[in-house]
A and B are shown apart, each in its own frame.
Chain A
Amino acid sequence: MNSTAIATHESYLSSGWNWWSWLSTLDHKRIGIMYTVSITLLFGIGGAAAAMIRLDLLTPHSQLVSIETYNKLFTVHGVIMVWFFLIPSIPATLGNFLLPMMIGARDLAFPRLNLLSWYLFVGGAVFTIYALLNGGADTGWTFYAPYSTTYTSSQVFAVATGVFIAGFSSILTGLNFVVTVHAMRAPGMTWFRLPLFIWSMYATSLILVLATPVLAMTLMLMVFERTFGIGVFDPALGGDPLLFQHLFWFYSHPAVYIMVVPAMGVASEIISCFTRNSVFGYRFMAFAILAIAAFGFLVWGHHMFVSGQSAYAGTVFSLLTFLVSVPSAIKVFNWTATLYKGQVSFEAPMLYALGFIGLFTIGGLTGLFLASLGLDVQLHDTYFVVAHFHYIMVGGAVMAFFGGIHFWWPKITGRMYPEGWARFSAILTFIGFNLTFFPQFIVGYLGMPRRYPEYAPEFQVWNVFSSAGASLLVFGYVLPLIYLLWSLRYGERALNNPWNAKGLEWETASPPPSENFHATPVVTEEAYAYARAESPHG
């Protein structure tokens, strides 16, 4: 390990510090940082909306806000968190920063396109925030027609336009990643030497490129119907409202995998590093990632079991959903098996990764409840569904995102974060998360519908638990923001490879030079080639 070269070397951070040097940068690392700053701000907005929602739900009658405001709050929360935080979270930040370095490349294949992606993303976000400041939308993030097209008088047009614009950022990022992985791998970096994080970025990129255009078309049709009265979805205009749901979920189900597949990649890197073991069943894990991405396109109808879709269609979608869950189940077993006979240590990234396994497992298992036709009828559109997808998208994706941020923080910033605080935050987040969302499974089976600011009094006790948990969760998310910012100035200087991890990104300086590597690295070993120590003190 060339871990002696610390302190004052030329890095991507030191090459110009004025605004323009950032806003015009073509460096994937700087663009990754700009994404991180952007989505952190947006996470703040989406999180504030969530906090208001949880506060309001403390009582069965909506006392904090009016019901109209409540409807806008959950719409803000959903739209921002899905499209302006979760979708770009890992790919656009860690993916942007790490993908070229992990395959030994100097940058992405199309650096200018990459910068354009960021501008499109920010443009979409500005549009959406503008809409929020001008009254907001009240459709929920799902925009179901004909409510969205004919009935609501809220800012659907502006919000949809914002999401539409940001979608192009997704498509361009996906395209960039796919080409980069195909064309720019360093000598010796064969497909089956790729870290699983790269496999996950590759699979995610394929989904981004193939699914996002369908969302763009759907939103466009919705806006056409709303603005010009062209009948597509509204039966009064000769349209079919179920068509909207088919199109929407054809994108939005794969979109769940856009959020969680990258998380699987991050978890694989972290678990391997902190067990000093190769990821169990590497090839299987790579294929499983691709399989999940591919089959994820075939299960959208499981969002529509009670929609009026035919019972036979529902049956096929239920069966396919069970089949696609098998590779996800096996991944959990493989991560667990990676610990076996390893050298397990418990730095904060590992705690986040273990938390990810736990929460993802619960999220996945409860997904099986929902895939079961008869049972979904009871659970559909209740808090059970809300709890389930938060376990996947927040418990899974956000835990892994935080784990990844901590894991690569020394590489990105050249500083160590304070370990004690970080471990505390990881544990706090895990506990707070479960306290927030586990009660929602119970109140969901009781029948409490989602999107209800006014609810039956017998549901209150579970809502109080949930809101109490959310107040812990706030600290779990705010603490890292504070100590990570603190560490930028006061953190201990990081070694090039503070975790003694495998992977090309650890072979260059922390923070890396603008060109990533001074000489193109040559790969001579498999991913995760940790020397297995058979003795206790390896």
Chain B
Amino acid sequence: MSTENKMLHTVNKSPFERNALDSCLRLAKKGSSILLIEDAVYAALANTAVAEKISSRMDDFSFFVLGPDVETRGLSETPLIEGVSVVDYGDFVDMAAAHSAVNSWL
């Protein structure tokens, strides 16, 4: 899938703490990629009260989660929402290069 004309969105705060993920989901154009980093990785976990924020939008966006942030927080064995891909910093760089621009939702 060509991502040249698509924006890469990043979210870095927990969906339990901030509305950044909600705002991103509302204001990202369909077809964009969304990468969860830092505390936002909690949004990628399968069995939480907020999992449906992401699971209900799998048709609209491609979701990614930054592996090092998952591992740091002790979540490596915790099931993630199906369809969310784990990437590393090298992939993050590749994604930033392959997309048209990066929009960080803080």
A and B from one complex: no
| Residues of chain A having any CB pair with chain B under 8 Å | none
